[in-house]
């Protein structure tokens, strides 16, 4: 039997082969999620408020003159927590990405999809911003369903125009905020002052991203998590029976039955689940958590709040749906530090320490010296000279005024050729200089014969800042 042979699948098993938001014929089933309330919703609201405030403010925070977070792909400049990362430091990005990836693996193994439910921008914007605006304008889930199935009235049209206009305006704001992370907040403010016509191509791109955000939050919604995001796909490889996640206590809840006014149920005759479907009504992806961990569950905890509210009203203990592992529900064993989690944790610790070490011990100065392409040596009135290209990147927190001298050969002299003698912090300079040695240089011990009769001499350059040598660079000098 194929998984798509839905007619052959028993009703209670259909959730494994069919998305709750997609009908059997492929049509979209719109989710009218009921507004949750409870302690988890309050905590999620607080966390979302902090995250949204951070997202909006971070591009305007400066540390030492650098933006707090910047991902300038065009100029290949990245700033993390005020720490400038140049293309030459790409290894830091790789290690940081690996550390972040392993962090997700560790947290998923221990706490399930806590990222999706609490921290993911898609969930935060959808459930804490757009969905709440929808409830405010369109009313409860029941009112929305009734209105959408009813005729097109003036009230319905007015609500639709108002809601979609607000959605588009927020999407435009989100696109601007993300643009500030890419081109810098200073550049963005400059674009705003100049007006859209002065940067028409950029403005068109901004509108394109606005439309994408708008369609995601106004139409695509939970499908972004179910269809596009790969996280849910490999989640099954990361979680097991010891993973703590949003779980229905089937041992306590089954067999479920409807609640009656004179209900006298006890744990002996029937379970605590009164089959009210409130956990399904508040779910933003439309699933029934009582079927167990599912691909569509983003662990938003709305079902926990809904169930706790019902349990309180019928005077039964809370926690029928709660954060717990399948093992804890079945056996009471709350052990989560399994050998697999220990292995993930060890790898995460190594990568985290490696990342911190690479950032802490990274040199603040990057100097590269290469003999100018296509040149060998030239004869001057003082002896023999070689031309060099130099690139200096100042990754430190202060401007650097410098001088270049030659340590070896000792009688070599350096003449800058249009090379700036200072590098501002977070910037790079490029230029050329000339190294001259007299006709009888003091370098006989370091001399190596080169092909075509040339001789290669070790060249050691020192970059001074004040009386301090801040960098030494080695190269080769060609003489006849």
Q: What is the mean pLDDT of the chain?
A: 86
126 versus 425: the higher-pLDDT residue is: 126
Instruction: Fill in the DSSP letter of residue 269.
Output: T
pLDDT given at position 446: 52
The count of other CB atoms within 10 Å of the CB of residue 315 is 7
The count of other CB atoms within 10 Å of the CB of residue 169 is 12
SS3 309: helix
Instruction: Fill in the DSSP letter of residue 128.
Output: I
pLDDT given at position 123: 94
The burial class, CB within 10 Å (0-12 / 13-18 / 19+), for 268 is exposed
- Crossing angle for the helix pair 339-360 and 90-111, to the nearest 10 degrees: 150
pLDDT tens track for 295-310: 889 999 999 999 999 9
pLDDT given at position 444: 47
Cβ atoms of 195 and 203 closer than 8 Å:
no
pLDDT tens track for 406-425: 888 888 888 888 888 888 87
pLDDT given at position 7: 53
Which parts of 282-410 fold into alpha helices (H)? 302-313, 326-331, 339-360
Q: How many residues are present in the chain?
A: 480
Euclidean distance between CA atoms 71 and 122, whole angstroms: 20
36 versus 18: the higher-pLDDT residue is: 36
pLDDT tens track for 8-17: 445 555 666 6
Euclidean distance between CA atoms 281 and 36, whole angstroms: 9
What percent of the chain shows pLDDT beyond 90?
44
């Amino acid at each position: 039997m194929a998984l798509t042979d839905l007619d052959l699948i028993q009703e209670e098993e259909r959730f494994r082969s069919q998305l709750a938001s997609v009908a059997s014929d492929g049509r979209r089933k719109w989710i009218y999620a009921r507004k949750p309330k409870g302690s988890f919703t309050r905590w999620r609201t607080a966390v979302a408020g902090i995250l949204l405030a951070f997202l909006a403010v971070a591009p305007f925070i400066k540390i030492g003159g650098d933006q707090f977070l910047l991902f300038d792909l065009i100029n290949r400049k990245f700033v993390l927590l005020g720490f400038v990362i140049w293309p030459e430091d790409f290894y830091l990005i790789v290690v940081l990405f690996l550390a972040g990836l392993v962090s997700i693996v560790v947290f998923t193994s221990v706490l399930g999809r806590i990222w999706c439910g609490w921290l993911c921008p898609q969930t935060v914007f959808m459930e804490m911003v757009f969905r709440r605006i929808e409830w405010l304008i369109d009313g409860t889930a029941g009112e929305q369903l009734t209105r959408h199935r009813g005729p097109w009235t003036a009230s319905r049209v007015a609500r639709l125009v108002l809601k979609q206009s607000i959605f588009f305006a927020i999407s435009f704001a989100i696109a601007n905020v993300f643009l500030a992370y890419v081109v810098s907040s200073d550049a963005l403010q400059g674009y705003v002052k100049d007006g859209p016509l002065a940067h028409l191509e950029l403005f068109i791109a901004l509108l394109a991203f606005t439309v994408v955000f708008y369609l995601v939050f106004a139409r695509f919604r939970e499908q972004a998590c179910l269809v596009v995001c790969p996280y849910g796909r490999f989640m099954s490889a990361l979680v097991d029976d010891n993973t703590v996640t949003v779980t229905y206590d089937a041992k306590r809840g089954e067999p479920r039955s409807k609640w009656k006014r004179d209900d006298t149920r006890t744990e002996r005759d029937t379970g605590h689940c009164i089959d009210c479907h409130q956990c399904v009504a508040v779910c933003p992806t439309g699933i029934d958590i009582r079927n167990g961990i599912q691909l569509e569950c983003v662990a938003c905890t709305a079902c926990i709040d809904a169930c706790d509210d019902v349990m309180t009203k019928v005077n039964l203990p809370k926690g029928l749906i709660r954060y717990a592992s399948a093992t804890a529900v079945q056996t009471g064993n709350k052990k989560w530090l399994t050998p697999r989690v220990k292995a993930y944790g060890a790898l995460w610790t190594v990568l985290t320490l490696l990342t911190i070490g690479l950032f802490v011990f990274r040199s603040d100065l990057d100097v590269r010296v290469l003999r100018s392409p296509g040149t060998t040596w030239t004869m001057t009135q003082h002896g023999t000279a070689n031309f060099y290209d130099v690139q200096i990147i100042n990754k430190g927190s202060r401007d650097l005024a410098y001088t270049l001298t030659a340590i070896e050969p000792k009688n070599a002299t350096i003449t800058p050729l249009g090379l700036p003698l200072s590098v501002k912090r977070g910037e790079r300079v490029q230029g050329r200089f000339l190294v001259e040695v007299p006709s009888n240089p003091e370098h006989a011990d370091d001399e190596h014969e080169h092909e075509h009769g040339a001789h290669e001499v070790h060249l050691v350059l020192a970059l001074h800042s004040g009386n301090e040598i801040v960098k030494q660079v080695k190269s080769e000098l060609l003489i006849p």
